[in-house]
Amino acid sequence: MRVSIRCEGSAAIGLGHVRRCMLLANELHRLNAEVGFVTRSGETLTQELADIPYPVIDISKSDEDGEFEAIMQSGDIHVLDLLGDTESLQKRLFRAGAKFLVIDGSGRVPCWARWLVDPYPIVRKDSFERELRRSSDTEYLGGADFALYSALPEPLPDQQDNQVAVCMGGGDDRGTVELILQGLEQVSQPLEIMVYTGSLNPNISSIEACVQSSRHSVKLVLNQPLLQYSTSQARFGFCAGGVTCYEMASMGLFLMTLPFVENQRRAARAWAEIGAGAFMGDAENVNPALIAQTMNQWLADVGHAREISSASRQHFRGQGAGRIALALWNELCSDRAKCRLQKQDNPSTSPK
């Protein structure tokens, strides 16, 4: 079984797409699948995949025809995890008879795929059926059961009410981390703050300046996975609305969502709708005083925040990658079984 994964990572969109695809790739690898990546950001993916070196096909100099051919030639089943309108590419794969999976949390792009993975905390199957389905064979895989994020080993440690984790993604070229740190600086209660970001972030020097000047205890962690044992002790977590929200929820962090790009905005609101935390507002409309005010309110009502933390730890389990990998694997095994039956029914078609 060969699986091609088409995704991107950059300072503008962060590394969430790459890292959740890596989780899926690892699960497929455990099932003995051959996995390869197709991307226009070859250097970024090669660095991210250094520890587990899946082959990377760089199509940065290819046109749409080259992209299509690279995807088709590198897998028996394909995965698309891309921002923007992918309908044209999907239609082309569909008409070529390809079986492919699309990861799309926008809830806006018409879907021609065999599977749609909707990384959104609220199941939207009805709206998918009404508005987005283009193929009668499409299977909707949505909600927490199919979200691509890691699970922490049990048991998790006790959480500390004054600990805060800040993770706005590997990119965040808009200064959102600094905005949050400026707001937390105005919080009356002493805090222990962990800031996670990556080398793609162009504002690392200004973040370091905020860390060094803070009156709180602040630790900056670069290029490390969020899911670390110490981070699971935090009570509160600031994030943008992407897959990091699932990671934080699985640890029981009270989510403070603060989206700064368009594809995060709807999901960021949804986390507040299901009662997993508070929607702070779109980053460009938020100021440090609002962050401080919201944090002070929840610190004063920390009992409620603890209840939300406990419920999140019970609900979010991090099994989505395994479930999706098994769905792809079972499909291919079914196709192979059908081929064997056809050869048995038509012996003349069997190789000599």
Q: Which long-range contacts (CB under 8 A, 24 or more apart) does 108-114 make?
A: 108/132, 109/85, 110/134, 111/135, 111/138, 112/87, 112/138, 113/80, 113/138, 114/138, 114/139, 114/331
Q: Lowest mean pLDDT: which of 202-211, 241-250, 264-273, 343-352?
A: 343-352
pLDDT score of 350 more than 60: no
Lowest mean pLDDT, pick from 202-206, 261-265, 306-310, 318-322: 261-265
> Do residues 169 and 289 both lie within one domain?
yes
Tell me, yes or no, whether 155 lies in a domain: no
Interval 207-229 mean pLDDT: 87
**Contacts for 146 with CB less than 8 Å, ≥ 6 apart:** 117, 118, 119, 320, 323, 324
Q: How much is the average pLDDT of 155-181?
A: 88
Return the percentage of the chain with pLDDT > 70, whole number.
93
Structure-block tokens of residue 4: 């091609």
Mean pLDDT of 221-225: 78
39 plus 131 within the same structural domain: yes
User: What is the structure's pLDDT at 337?
Assistant: 63
**Alpha carbons 268 and 237: distance in angstroms, whole number:** 13
What is residue 199's predicted lDDT score, i.e. its pLDDT?
75
pTM above 0.95, yes or no: no
- Note whether 23 and 82 are same-domain residues: yes
Is 216 found in the same domain as 165? yes
- Same domain? For 184 and 112 the reply is no
Residue 348's pLDDT band (cuts 50, 70, 90): very low
72-89 pLDDT per residue, tens: 999 999 999 998 999 999
131 or 201, higher pLDDT: 131
CATH code (residue 255)? 3.40.50.2000
Of 4-8, 13-17, 184-188, 206-210, give the lowest mean pLDDT range.
13-17
What number of other Cβ atoms are within 10 A of residue 326's Cβ? 13
- 33-53, pLDDT tens digit by residue? 999 999 999 988 988 888 888
CATH number of domain containing 100 = 3.40.50.11190
Please say if the pLDDT value at position 135 is more than 90: yes
What is the per-residue pLDDT for 189? Answer: 95
pLDDT exceeds 80 at position 351 = no
CB count, 10 Å around CB of 332? 17
- My answer on whether 309 and 330 are in the same domain is no
Range of the domain at 169: 160-315
Query: Residue 111 falls within a domain, yes or no?
Result: yes
Task: Look at residue 154 and tell me if it is in a domain.
Answer: no
Q: Let me know if residue 119 belongs to a domain.
A: yes
**Residue 326 domain flag:** yes
Residues 86 and 209 in one domain: no
Looking at the fold, whether 46 and 173 belong to one and the same domain comes out as no
Residue 75 sits in the same domain as residue 140 = yes
Is position 211 within any domain? Answer: yes
Q: Which of 80-84, 129-133, 228-232, 290-294 has the lowest mean pLDDT?
A: 228-232
| 261 shares a domain with 122 | no
87-101 average pLDDT score: 98
**Is there a single domain that holds both residue 53 and residue 185?**
no
* 316 close to 144: Cβ distance less than 8 angstroms: yes
Measured CA to CA, the distance from residue 319 to residue 221 in angstroms comes to 26
Tally of structural domains, the chain: 2
Q: Examine the domain organization and report whether 214 and 290 are in the same domain.
A: yes
Does residue 176 lie within any of the structural domains? yes
In a domain, 53, yes or no: yes
